[in-house]
Structure 1
Amino acid sequence: MQQIKINTTTKSYPVNIGHGAVRMLGELCNGAEDRYTSVMVITDETVASLYLPYFRENSGLERFIEKIVPSGEKAKTFDVYYDCLSAALENKLDRKSLIIAFGGGAVGDLAGFVAATFMRGIRFIQVPTTILAHDSAVGGKVAINHPLGKNMVGAFHQPEAVIYDLEFIESLPEKEVRSGFAEVIKHSLISGEGFYHWLREEINSLKSIEYPQMLEFLSKGIQIKGSVVAKDEYENGIRAYLNFGHTLGHAIEAEAGYGNITHGEAVAVGMLFAIELSREVLKLAFNLEEFKMWLQSLGYRTSLPSGLSVDRLLLRMKQDKKAVGNTIRFVLLQQVGHPVVSEVEENVLLNNLKKFMEEGE
């Protein structure tokens, strides 16, 4: 079992990661200095069918309310959010209650936002079940989607703890592994060449990741995320670097329809484009073809999904949370491990996006 400490300006909390980590949950809840009056577990249909019996048996919680929501991005809607608030009220949760987010990144975002807004904010714990959630479960960003943009309605609300039981990860379908591993790649590109080259050398297939490799890259990714959040909890500066690949990635998700392309698949394409843009704008020296071939060997698509409009993608990017006064701001790389936030002129962005689309045809 490994523990990583996350320190922010408002809260410090542990991330416990390893096999059987969920067994720490009961002790953690029962040992809370300010005892919880009730516990509501928010999970989705897929996780409930696979893991809720294991959770009941091993969490050490005597009783809790179960709220099951749709799987994936379908959980992050106003209707589902409202339904969760109603469930909390109907079950008489109060300001000393606890919400547990049990699932992937979408459930964590939803449950965290419910906790952030119910009675002006109550405590919550993240129990992630996917690789993708190693990124989203840490740092306190919680949100739901709006039809005009991903994660546009949300808050900063740090969890009390993150309990990362790798029992859940080992049964993930390859598509979900691929989606989550894109965020690991992102962490390597913004943090330094050492981690990036380690991934390139160690991970040649997403079908056969060894436990030590999994523990290593998840722990490293969480440490990178934690170090950035510690310096910039509310994304006033360097925390924006964590959005590398996400400006176009989020636009792709929105245009393709939430859930029709996984977050990680969209971010992988977004990272490729951001690297091409970095070579154009910042003269980044980077072997793009080698990187693209590695992504393809891991099963990632390396081009824009068919049927998407360049003009529509540009409009979506103007609505990105980093945009200021309709000016699009991109996270680019000066070199691996040295990201910057750069304002990119619309004509430069449009020309490069058209070129990127043509290259993929």
Structure 2
Amino acid sequence: MKNFFSNLFNKNNDPKSIISFDIIDPIYSYLYNEKSNLEFKVKGIQDNVFVNLFYFPGSLDHEQAQAEIKKAGFNTSYEVLNELYKKMNIGILSDEMIQEGLEYDFIHIQFYSEPTTDEKKVFKRAIKNFIIFFCCTDNSLEINDFRILYSGTYFFDYTKGLLESELLDITNPKNESQEIGIRDFKLVLQGICQYLNIEIPETIELPSLENLIETEEVTAKTFEEFINLVSRGNAEEKELKTQSKKLLKNYQKETKEYHEIIEGHFDLFESVNTWNSDWKFNPEDAECFISEMIGEDFNFEYPEETYSHDLFPYIQSALEKRGFELMSYDTKGDNYLFFVANKNDVDRILELSELTNIEIDKL
């Protein structure tokens, strides 16, 4: 992440506010060094909270995003970034800086809040997007501050969503939507800190005195539920009990040894109808193995010369029509271990993945 300057003085280090660099920076550090995406529940927030670390240009380096960029009147994602920097009063990237091809990170936090007075006429909840960009202020040569763009709309077109987001003044919300969003954003930041065990300075005024992270005890029943969901109810009772006990025992070891951590995971997926694939695969392979996994003929439409992970949107679209979704166990290697889940079970599978430390990827 390259250093760059804002023409504004440092405004985000209020020692009493949880919306401060002292909180955002360790969250960024976790996302950068450990895991770039989080999904979890926070008490007081409707549905799950989503936290993602994205970056320019890489996160917009795919066919759909490139089409969105062109549609918005830009040629490259760096041009989009400069447009956002102008909005945030951050110094734009020069041609020389762009030629260096460096990455510029940003955090996108998304959750649902209660609707505004007007929104209540139509909706039971309203989406909130907080997009955090980093900068240097007060003549610092190191990143020491951030700016937030806010949107209360869905990002069906991600580039358009970014460009239409508004610069947020956390001390002076423009409207009811921003006011509700800032209130709940403080709660979400506290929840993220508690979820990641990030220490919150004593000077900060907490939005809640509660533990905001809803914890669930992990038992053999937890693993039974997990196996039932990833197998779509096709696990035999005896195998279900045996695998659940083995997985629980493995979970309770609390070891950091990789081979011990994954002991039993591969055994589990050997008992589930899966597709163990190299990172590179073609559409015909996908159609063949997915047909076998779901027990019916499966095919999907895709552009010519499309392979591997670029096929995921087309596969998922076709599976969704049948009530399914393709997922994968994170093997930590250069291969996929695919399985097909019921679409309605995906959120719960991801919750159980977090609980059990059996890492499942939503593709």
Of the two, which has the highest radius of gyration?
A: 2
TM-score between the two structures when normalised by the length of structure 2: 0.22
Structure with a larger share of its residues in helix: 1
TM-score between the two structures when normalised by the length of structure 1: 0.22
